[in-house]
């Protein structure tokens, strides 16, 4: 467990580490939950107010539409565009109905990324057919361990379109196809590294749709100028992606597939959705910005009035915003909103309006809808693959390759090469990873709290504003009676739950408590730790400071796994990550420490452990005049934390170490020798002082190299 005082003692090997105190948590989480919920309301409101606010004329829209679309491509992991590799389509069989034929088709949207689908073709038709791309929601059909794909669940739509003079290609989803991939990466499997890779299965679904259009345009039966898209729930979301990205979609009817950030983040609808519903929100979009990209093409926004995961109020708000863009085009008649009574369900009422919309805009007709959409086939009749799935399939592990990971860069040959490389990384961090940081932060508003003393230790308490609504604790320990300005150094520890608990336990061992700073944590006094800390301060003129980032200590929110997961997902929807905002907290904590009377000129060290070591590493890049950075059990890669949006597209922790070692002395403490080849090579190539970077094996003799 993190030992706030003894970490520094490890550095100088003056005393041996001691055992951690026993801790236990209470169930009183109301204060931290209120803080984070208020923060989410504030951040959501900020993004909602900004959405499309700069569009006041048609010229504004025309000037920005291309930029918006490119941003969406990037947030879906499709920038630069993947190569349009050969589709290698195969028709594996057919199913027959008196009025239409169903072709069972598979193609590869990328090598090894298989898309299974059914193409419905009417038997009687003249000329090329108006065509619907039907994208499925989460309708699983699985028997005896065999997945038949969502297309089987939604077959009644394809059958209706074919009986009414349309071709319809219904394609499976990544997760619920005949080859079963994953949509629930962060939600179910804690694959938070998806955020660091800039990956969302929404990007796979969007790319599969783009390639489905490519395939349709190879078919002689298809009229490429009359293609529409529809689908419900997840399919509604994918209808938005393809409609926004590809103008080959002429008409769209997304059903129950969109609502706004207020519903998702504030009202909690995100908790009912998997990751395929969301882009990696690098640019901080609200969802009306996605919807507006379909303008001025005919668009029917379709929903029911009792849908709990796409609530009516958010759907109406999106329609209102998008209507303004259609009005700028003078095409308000091409935007529709249909609301039917009912829950989140594939109802006949929703289907009838969709059929009417496509007839109106793809066929230029308005017949009475007389046929109902019914299922005609068994799952076995519509299955594309036989008993054996393709051995070269990449569907199940596509998150590993869909977005490119940055290669280890070449070691710079000169200071100029290094300057160019670090400038590029800093730009990427600012615009792609930490874009969610406040652009115009409020003042720190440092406020001193109680000062308490026991033995030779004085503890000073402070509160500061990290950003609006996030007020965090700062604790400074030092030798009793020693003026702060006379300290030889002050070490800022950015702590996790264990580190904060250890601090409280150590102080409690000397009879000290920090009023209002315990949060949900209870501790057992640790007298041995207090004695070790006291001995350190008696021997050295040091100060030890501690900042608890949001969600730690007094600002901790509910500890249940579901609550922790869904809080992290809310950050993701806002174009942030929890670790990214904790890095901001560490930067602000350093600024607050400098405002403490007497500490403005004292040499500053920064220190962290495990994930907080990574957070400390990056925070040091944004704090001026950090003398030294001590990192304990630092993760080898961002795949293991800290998680920052998109960071692995540009650099990894070894590159960040090299950036930090140019500015500050860096000490890495780990269980085994070796590693960190890249920063060591950079230091050698650029002939840095050997004290700039040192790797220490825990338990081995260490030198005092201040």
DSSP-derived 3-state class of residue 551: coil
β partners of residue 422 = none
β partners of residue 228 = 132, 251
Q: Which of 279-283, 333-337, 355-359, 521-525 has the lowest mean pLDDT?
A: 521-525
For residue 523, name the pLDDT band (cuts at 50, 70, 90): confident
Instruction: Extract the tokens encoding 704.
Output: 């005092």
Instruction: Extract the tokens encoding 547.
Output: 């900042």
Q: Which of 242-251, 304-313, 448-457, 693-702 has the lowest mean pLDDT?
A: 693-702
Percent of the chain with pLDDT over 90: 91
CA–CA distance, 142 with 139 (Å, rounded to integer): 10
Residue 568: what pLDDT?
98
559 against 645, higher pLDDT? 645
Average pLDDT of the residues in 329-348: 96
Residue 275 · residue 201 · CB < 8 Å = yes
Residue 650: what pLDDT?
98
For residue 702, name the pLDDT band (cuts at 50, 70, 90): low
Residue 140: what pLDDT?
92
Residue 17: what pLDDT?
26
For residue 54, name the pLDDT band (cuts at 50, 70, 90): very high
In 3D space, the residue among 170, 190, 166, 143 whose CA is nearest the CA of residue 239 turns out to be 170
Residue 14: what pLDDT?
27
Domains 85-260+271-280+343-400 and 442-602 in one fold = yes
Inform me whether the pLDDT recorded for 150 exceeds 60: yes
The string over 584-607, giving b where at least 16 C-beta atoms fall within 10 Å of a residue's C-beta and e elsewhere, is bbbbbbbbbbbebebbeebebbbb
CA–CA distance, 17 with 7 (Å, rounded to integer): 8
Residue 369: what pLDDT?
87
DSSP-derived 3-state class of residue 651: coil
Average pLDDT of the residues in 428-434: 98
For the entire predicted model, the pTM comes to 0.94
How far separated are the first and last CA of the chain, in Å rounded? Answer: 25
* CA dihedral sign, ordered 353, 356, 361, 363: positive
pLDDT, tens digit, for every residue of 125-138? 889 999 999 999 99
Average pLDDT of the residues in 435-444: 96
Give whole-number Cα distances, 385 to 88, 148, 175, 388, in Å. Answer: 15, 9, 16, 7
pLDDT, tens digit, for every residue of 664-685? 999 999 999 999 999 999 999 9
Residue 12: what pLDDT?
37
In 3D space, the residue among 674, 680, 622 whose CA is nearest the CA of residue 655 turns out to be 680
Residue 26: what pLDDT?
33
Instruction: Extract the tokens encoding 235.
Output: 């399919």
Domain definitions of the chain by residue range: 85-260+271-280+343-400, 442-602, 604-706
Angle formed by the axes of helices 561-573 and 578-595, nearest 10° = 80
Residue 192: φ, ψ to 5°: -65, -20
User: How high does pLDDT run on average in the chain?
Assistant: 93
Residue 517: what pLDDT?
87
Q: Which stretch of DSSP H or E encloses residue 95?
A: strand 90-96
Residue 42: what pLDDT?
98
Residue 30: what pLDDT?
66
For residue 553, name the pLDDT band (cuts at 50, 70, 90): very high
Count of Cβ atoms closer than 10 Å to residue 562 Cβ: 10
Residue 28: what pLDDT?
43
DSSP-derived 3-state class of residue 343: coil
Quick one: DSSP state of residue 333?
A: G
Inform me whether the pLDDT recorded for 18 exceeds 70: no
- The second-level CATH assignment, the architecture, of 85-260+271-280+343-400 is 3-Layer(aba) Sandwich (3.40)
Residue 703: what pLDDT?
57
Percent of the chain with pLDDT over 70: 95
Residue 170: what pLDDT?
98
Q: Is 442 exposed, middle or buried (0-12, 13-18, 19+ CB in 10 A)?
A: exposed
CA–CA distance, 144 with 326 (Å, rounded to integer): 49
Inform me whether the pLDDT recorded for 23 exceeds 70: no
Inform me whether the pLDDT recorded for 2 exceeds 70: no
Inform me whether the pLDDT recorded for 7 exceeds 70: no
Phi-psi region of 149 (alpha: psi -120 to 50; beta: other; left: phi over 0): left
CA angle 442, 34, 544 (to 5 degrees): 60
Say which residue the tokens 């969406």 belong to: 72
* CA dihedral sign, ordered 346, 347, 353, 358: positive
Pick the CATH number of 442-602 from 3.40.50.1820, 3.90.76.10, 1.10.287.130, 3.40.50.720: 3.40.50.1820
For residue 6, name the pLDDT band (cuts at 50, 70, 90): very low
Q: Is 318 exposed, middle or buried (0-12, 13-18, 19+ CB in 10 A)?
A: buried
Torsion, CA 358, CA 362, CA 367, CA 371, rounded to 10: -50
Q: Is 535 exposed, middle or buried (0-12, 13-18, 19+ CB in 10 A)?
A: middle
Average pLDDT of the residues in 174-187: 96
Quick one: DSSP state of residue 120?
A: E
Residue 372: what pLDDT?
83
DSSP string, 228-297: EEEEETHHHHHHHHHHHH-TT--EEEEES----HIIIIIS-GGGG--GGG----TT---THHHHHTTTTS
Residue 234 · residue 136 · CB < 8 Å = yes
User: How many H helices and E strands in the chain?
Assistant: 22, 22
pLDDT, tens digit, for every residue of 249-306? 999 999 999 999 999 999 999 999 999 999 999 999 999 999 999 999 999 999 999 9
Residue 10: what pLDDT?
40
Q: Which of 101-105, 351-355, 389-393 has the lowest mean pLDDT?
A: 351-355
């Amino acid at each position: 467990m993190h030992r706030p005082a003894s970490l520094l003692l490890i550095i100088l090997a003056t005393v041996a580490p001691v055992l951690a105190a026993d801790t236990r948590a209470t169930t009183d989480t109301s204060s931290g939950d209120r803080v984070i919920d208020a923060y989410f309301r504030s951040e959501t409101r900020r993004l909602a107010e900004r959405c499309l606010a700069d569009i006041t004329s048609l010229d504004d829209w025309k000037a920005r539409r291309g930029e918006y679309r490119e941003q969406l491509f990037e947030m879906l992991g499709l920038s630069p565009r993947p190569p349009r590799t050969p589709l290698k389509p195969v028709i594996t069989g057919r199913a027959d109905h008196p009025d239409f034929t169903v072709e069972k088709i598979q193609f590869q949207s990328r090598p090894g990324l298989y898309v299974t689908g059914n193409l419905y073709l009417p038997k009687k038709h003249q000329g090329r057919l108006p065509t619907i791309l039907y994208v499925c929601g989460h309708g699983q059909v699985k028997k005896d361990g065999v997945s038949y794909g969502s297309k089987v669940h939604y077959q009644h739509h394809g059958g209706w379109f074919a009986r009414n003079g349309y071709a319809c290609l219904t394609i499976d989803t990544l997760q619920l196809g005949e080859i079963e991939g994953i949509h629930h990466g962060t939600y179910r499997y804690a694959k938070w590294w998806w955020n660091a890779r800039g990956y969302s299965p929404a990007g796979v679904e969007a790319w599969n749709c783009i390639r489905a259009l490519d395939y349709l345009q190879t078919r002689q039966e298809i009229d490429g100028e009359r293609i529409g898209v529809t689908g419900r729930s997840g399919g509604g979301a994918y209808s938005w992606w393809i409609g926004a990205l590809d103008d080959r979609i002429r008409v769209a009817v997304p059903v129950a597939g969109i609502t706004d950030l207020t519903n998702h983040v504030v009202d909690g609808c995100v908790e009912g959705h998997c990751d395929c519903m969301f882009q990696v929100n690098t640019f901080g979009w609200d969802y009306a910005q996605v919807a507006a990209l379909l303008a001025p093409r005919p668009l029917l926004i379709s929903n029911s009035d009792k849908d709990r995961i796409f609530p009516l109020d958010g759907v109406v708000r999106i329609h209102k915003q998008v209507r303004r863009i259609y009005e700028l085009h003078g095409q308000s008649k091409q935007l529709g909103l249909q609301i039917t009574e009912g829950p989140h369900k594939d109802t006949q009422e929703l289907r009838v309006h969709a059929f009417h919309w496509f007839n109106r805009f793809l066929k230029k007709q308005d017949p009475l809808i007389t046929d109902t959409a019914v299922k005609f086939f068994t799952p076995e009749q519509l299955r594309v693959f036989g008993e054996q799935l393709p051995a070269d399939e990449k569907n199940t592990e596509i998150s590993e390759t869909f977005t490119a990971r940055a290669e280890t860069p070449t070691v710079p040959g000169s200071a100029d090469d290094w300057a160019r490389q670090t400038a590029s990384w800093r730009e990427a961090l600012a615009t792609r990873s930490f874009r969610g940081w406040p652009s115009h932060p409020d003042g720190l508003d440092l406020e001193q709290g109680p000062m308490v003393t026991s033995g030779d230790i004085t503890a000073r308490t402070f509160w500061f504003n990290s950003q609006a609504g996030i007020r965090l604790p700062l604790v400074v320990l030092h030798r009793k009676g020693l003026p702060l300005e006379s300290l030889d150094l002050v070490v800022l520890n950015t702590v996790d739950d264990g580190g904060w608990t250890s601090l409280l336990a150590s102080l409690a061992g000397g009879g000290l408590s920090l009023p209002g700073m315990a949060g949900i944590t209870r501790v057992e006094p640790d007298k041995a730790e207090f004695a070790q800390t006291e001995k350190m301060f008696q021997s050295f003129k040091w100060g030890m400071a501690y900042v608890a980032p949001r969600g730690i200590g007094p600002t901790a929110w509910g500890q249940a796994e579901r609550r922790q997961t869904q809080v992290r997902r809310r950050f993701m929807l806002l174009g942030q990550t929890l670790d990214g905002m904790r890095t901001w907290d560490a930067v602000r904590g350093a600024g607050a420490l400098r405002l403490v009377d007497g500490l403005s000129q004292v040499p500053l060290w920064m220190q962290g452990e495990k994930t907080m070591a990574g957070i400390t590493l990056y925070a040091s890049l944004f704090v001026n005049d950090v003398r030294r950075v001590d990192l304990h059990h630092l993760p080898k890669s961002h795949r293991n934390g800290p998680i920052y949006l998109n960071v692995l597209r540009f650099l990894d922790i070894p590159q960040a170490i090299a950036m930090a070692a140019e500015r500050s002395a860096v000490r890495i403490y780990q269980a085994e020798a070796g590693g960190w080849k890249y920063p060591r090579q950079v230091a050698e190539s650029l002939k840095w002082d050997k004290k700039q970077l040192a790797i220490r094996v825990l338990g081995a003799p260490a030198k005092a190299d201040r």
